[in-house]
Structure 1
Amino acid sequence: MATKHEQILQYIDDLPIGEKISVRQIAKAMNVSEGTAYRAIKDAENKGYVSTIERVGTIRIERKKKENIEKLTYAEVVNIVDGQVLGGRSGLHKTLNKFVIGAMKLEAMMRYTGAGNLLIVGNRDKAHEQALRAGAAVLVTGGFDTEEHVKKLADELQLPIISSSYDTFTVATMINRAIYDQLIKKEIILVEDILTPLAETAYLTTDHKVSDWYRLKEETNHSRFPVVDRNTKVQGMVTSKDIMGDDMETPIEKIMTKQPMTVSEKTSVASSAHMMVWEGIEVLPVVDDANKLQGMISRQDVLKALQMIQRQPQVGETLDDTVTSQLVVSRGKLKDESTFRCTITPQMTNHLGTISYGVFTTLVTEAANRVLRGYKKGDLVVENMTIYFIKPVQIDRVLEIYPRILEVGRKFGKMDVEVHSEGVLVGKAMMVCQLIDRH
């Protein structure tokens, strides 16, 4: 039986795209309190079912598939640019495929403007009208309004016309940044991308016995299974260690490991890998918000995903990418010793003009990982890092980073890292990495 919260989410999900909703409306339709309705709407917004726009309200939008995540809806554009919707509210759920800056004559502007576009332009009413007729939405910069007949046209065509107080350059930068951020999100592999779905997942119930474990093991050739109740909520995990020496009639519920570690579909693969390595886990149940089983991921699934990430070209560049791209490898004084050089750029500094702690940590971690990968093939997860000290290093100074391997085991590596600038020791750290074997 679904909870009230789940029923409300399903109700919202079933609403037509573009439908406007409110707390009072949902509370009345679902016969719940306004507090319950409010919490469900907020959850729906987090899940991408709806979008809340100031001075407009909450609108049902189409959930984006991951391959289309970089495409913004007009509703998202309104929030990004702190905009005001002048007309065409019913089209806010639509997505834009590109934006056009209208800094040219009208005829030239229209050559670049088509259906699904967003024209960014100032107080040029004729351009507003022509863009709408061409199937494009309009973003009016400088806080200007537009004529009433243009607003009516926007309503008729269900194409938003938005006003923002920012100038054209600022608005374009803000939208471009938002698209760029979405591209980075698109590259992050989540558990939902690699999980074995519930229909293909072998599991036991709390009513099963040890004999059922043996039967399932024979059928699947696996030995680790989640245990669920009648509502498919995860109650435990059972492995060969748990059933060792137990009678065939022993209930699974008595011998299972209760309250097992789980992940959600939106957990990143990197986080799952860290959890598996840290806890020594081979498989993880995937659950929803109600702790209902959605599928499983294994260590092998995670390893394949991590290897795929390394082979994929990156489209969006994160802050880590920006920092680590500055590292240049050079040979050390000793044979087989690697050192790294990096010049401190303005982006790497704090408000005092010296290297920030975050950048220092990133550089040390990356240098150590590169050296460790040369000794031990596989994927690395930083388990622990201790920074003994760090001295201020100002802009344009060159850092020399000396990672030194202290110990390498089958599943871990310990590194000592010294950081010098102009011959002076400016930082020292030690880190321990867990090694994920690819086999």
Structure 2
Amino acid sequence: MVGKKQVTGKKPSTALERVMIKDSITVRPYLGVTAVGHMMQGNGLSVLPVVDDSWQLLGIVTRGSVYSALAELGTNSQGTTIADSVATAVTPAPSESAQSAAYTLVTTPMMMNKLGTLSFGVMNEIVNYAVTHFLNAQGRRNVLIEQLSLHAFRPIQLETTIHIAVKTLELNSHTAVFEVALSADGMLAAWR
């Protein structure tokens, strides 16, 4: 990808391959404008290539077109927070007992950090959502997570399916303690 920033101040004879961005961030056509807007703003980008699932270029999206689309939406029904994104991405899965729960989630660009791996804050939000959803399903409302410690073992890439396992260690009328494991590609990625 070549933009104004890459060619400014260069000699007219400079080859494009010397100034182009070779591994640019891309988006898929099915992503929402909110997610694309967050990606652009978070990475300081004004243009993003749009590719299909086989990485074929379909076109580009500009910051101006994203902002125009967001302005037309008025109130955004897709959610604009990380918590909203996680809540819409998590899917309950069959669990082994009433004392445990299982969920799946496929990572999206909005969930990534600048290194292209799942953000630690998003990991925490996934754990928060899974535990809160599990307790709500058991009729426990007004849940507040008081303490959370998360140990990440390996990075999780974009478009990876994460399996979240929630296991009850202690549960009484006022407090609860859970073990939550996040795995990707059959390997443990994070644990609490």
**TM-score bucket of the superposed structures, by smaller chain:** 0.5 to 0.7
**1:273-293 deviation line (CA, Å, top 9, x unaligned):** xxxxxxxxxxxxxxxxxxxxx
Alignment of 1:157-306 (within 5 A): 169=65, 172-173=68-69, 175-176=71-72, 179-180=74-75
Distance 1:381 1:392, change over 3 A: same
User: For residue 325 of structure 1, what is the aligned residue in structure 2?
Assistant: 88
**1:364-384 deviation line (CA, Å, top 9, x unaligned):** 110111112233422111111
User: For residue 124 of structure 2, what is the aligned residue in structure 1?
Assistant: 361
> Going by fraction, where is helix more abundant, 1 or 2?
1
Shift of 1:174: 6.2
User: For residue 120 of structure 1, what is the aligned residue in structure 2?
Assistant: none
Secondary structure of 2:118 counterpart: coil
Q: How well do the aligned residues superpose, as a CA RMSD in angstroms? A: 2.5
User: How far apart in 2 are the matches of 1:369 and 1:409?
Assistant: 15
Distance 1:376 1:405, change over 3 A: farther
User: How far apart in 2 are the matches of 1:346 and 1:354?
Assistant: 9
Distance 1:389 1:316, change over 3 A: closer
User: For residue 114 of structure 2, what is the aligned residue in structure 1?
Assistant: 351
Instruction: Please tell me whether residue 397 in structure 1 is matched to residue 157 in structure 2.
Output: no
Query: Which of 1 and 2 has greater Rg?
Result: 1
User: How far apart in 2 are the matches of 1:378 and 1:345?
Assistant: 29
Shift of 1:168: 7.2
Distance 1:376 1:411, change over 3 A: farther
**1:388-437 deviation line (CA, Å, top 9, x unaligned):** 234201112110000111111222222110111111110012xxxxxxxx
Question: 5+ residue gaps in structure 1?
Answer: 1-166, 184-314, 430-439
User: For residue 208 of structure 1, what is the aligned residue in structure 2?
Assistant: none
Secondary structure of 2:122 counterpart: helix
User: For residue 187 of structure 2, what is the aligned residue in structure 1?
Assistant: 424
**1:24-83 deviation line (CA, Å, top 9, x unaligned):** xxxxxxxxxxxxxxxxxxxxxxxxxxxxxxxxxxxxxxxxxxxxxxxxxxxxxxxxxxxx
Larger relative CO (CA 8 A, sep 6+): 1 or 2?
2
User: For residue 380 of structure 1, what is the aligned residue in structure 2?
Assistant: 143
Instruction: Please tell me whether residue 370 in structure 1 is matched to residue 133 in structure 2.
Output: yes
The letter for the 2-side match of 1:356 is S
**1:81-110 deviation line (CA, Å, top 9, x unaligned):** xxxxxxxxxxxxxxxxxxxxxxxxxxxxxx
Distance 1:341 1:174, change over 3 A: closer
Identical-pair percentage: 20
Distance 1:390 1:364, change over 3 A: farther
Question: 5+ residue gaps in structure 2?
Answer: 1-62
- Paired residues of 1:324 and 1:362 also in contact (CA < 8 A): no
Distance 1:317 1:379, change over 3 A: same
**1:224-266 deviation line (CA, Å, top 9, x unaligned):** xxxxxxxxxxxxxxxxxxxxxxxxxxxxxxxxxxxxxxxxxxx
User: For residue 9 of structure 2, what is the aligned residue in structure 1?
Assistant: none
Instruction: Please tell me whether residue 415 in structure 1 is matched to residue 192 in structure 2.
Output: no
Distance 1:338 1:173, change over 3 A: same
- Paired residues of 1:390 and 1:427 also in contact (CA < 8 A): yes
Alignment of 1:131-170 (within 5 A): 169=65
Distance 1:377 1:322, change over 3 A: same
User: How far apart in 2 are the matches of 1:330 and 1:377?
Assistant: 20
The letter for the 1-side match of 2:191 is K
